[in-house]
Structure 1
């Protein structure tokens, strides 16, 4: 069976990582890994026309709220990343309310709301809400986990680099958010398999820095 035909996203990713690791991540192996991953992503998105339509309509709404060409480019990147990860929905063929909340958070920087003093507080509220909604509706999925990670990265990196005035806070925030990503990536490359989600202890510094940045942004004149 081809990797593109595997319905389990973790099994497909492990198969791709394992093949690349056996080839010691040579340039040819990396190119093959990226090509096969892209091929599977496109095929999986095509098998979920309802989810693809929902994602497209939602991002069209985001485009209507943008202010600049850079904002529109950001929405286009969000649409591309979202579509290429629709395979992580696995047995679902549509988005759930928790997924929509997550995508809204990731696109806040493209709207006027993102520049408001309350955007950091809204981002934290949506982060808490989407997880609770997903668990209450029994709709937790790898797509939701990865979308949550990308949304946090997009929003908090933008808010920190664009509106945080303290170099110390900026450096501490970026380091706290980069640590889990670097750790998970290093384990995946080294072992040739996807690791489990980072332990809460590893994520607490990132959550703490989100609160600090949000509070400073709220109180800033």
Structure 2
């Protein structure tokens, strides 16, 4: 029988694994055991959603073909497939990807695609970000999976674009602070506490959104 809340069930299972890992003081054998248990749970969750897994695989197969011969290219797309497939449990009651999820995954894979880091790529990423959020709200398909995918799509695309194409050290440092540092911090806190922390959600001020606009415009007009 499916649990009432897949997200709550997934979070409880993750916290149990993290608590066990912390109790073993991150010993190598404990890390291997943690990864094995997490992979097994991910496989079970994906098997419960064969349609979503098939849609995800088909999408990444197309992206993989488009990325052939490019850098980071196919390796980036393969990593995206692995991360996404291992978190299908966050779809909760849904059994397939929503259109908003597809737009989010496209945004996260832009660095591997033709034109994905061209002059207009930042504007394109902002447009995809706005579109997937509006679409999810309009269709009522918002989910923890979409939230997870959105966070990592932002971290992947904007950190890559800034480090590869932004000449200003200050802007590069701001990008790391806005996108890469939160992911590292949440992971570190989870390992130290033995439980997943709540992700902060600013309501009135979204500095990362402002930084996206700055980076996108600077990239657009740069010669």
TM-score (norm 1): 0.88
Cα shift at 1:7: 8.0
Q: Which residue of 2 aligns with 1:146?
A: 148
Cα shift at 1:172: 2.2
- The answer on 1:197 being equivalent to 2:192 is no
Cα pair 2:162 2:215 within 8 Å, conserved: yes
**Structure 1 residues 196, 45: closer, same or farther in 2, change over 3 A?**
same
Cα shift at 1:201: 6.9
Of 178, 182, 197, 1:176 maps to 178
Cα shift at 1:86: 1.2
- The answer on 1:77 being equivalent to 2:79 is yes
Q: Which residue of 1 aligns with 2:112?
A: 110
Q: Which residue of 1 aligns with 2:20?
A: 19
Cα pair 1:9 1:90 within 8 Å, conserved: no
Cα shift at 1:60: 1.6
Output aligned runs, 1:28-67, within 5 Å.
28-67=29-68
Cα pair 2:155 2:179 within 8 Å, conserved: yes
Unpaired stretches in structure 1, ≥5 consecutive residues:
none
Report which of the two has the higher share of helix: 1
Of 94, 97, 101, 1:95 maps to 97
Q: Which residue of 2 aligns with 1:121?
A: 123
**Structure 1 residues 122, 8: closer, same or farther in 2, change over 3 A?**
same
Cα shift at 1:195: 1.7
Number of equivalent positions: 217
Cα pair 2:7 2:92 within 8 Å, conserved: no
Cα pair 1:161 1:170 within 8 Å, conserved: yes
Q: Which residue of 1 aligns with 2:3?
A: none
Cα pair 1:180 1:203 within 8 Å, conserved: no
CA–CA separation in structure 2 for the residues paired with 1:72 and 1:55: 15
Q: Which residue of 2 aligns with 1:208?
A: 210
Aligned Cα root-mean-square deviation (Å): 2.3
Q: Which residue of 2 aligns with 1:186?
A: 188
Cα shift at 1:96: 0.4
Residue 113 of structure 1: SS of its match in structure 2? coil
CA–CA separation in structure 1 for the residues paired with 2:8 and 2:126: 32
CA–CA separation in structure 2 for the residues paired with 1:18 and 1:113: 44
Cα shift at 1:49: 0.9
CA–CA separation in structure 2 for the residues paired with 1:53 and 1:110: 21
**Structure 1 residues 148, 90: closer, same or farther in 2, change over 3 A?**
same
**Structure 1 residues 202, 76: closer, same or farther in 2, change over 3 A?**
farther
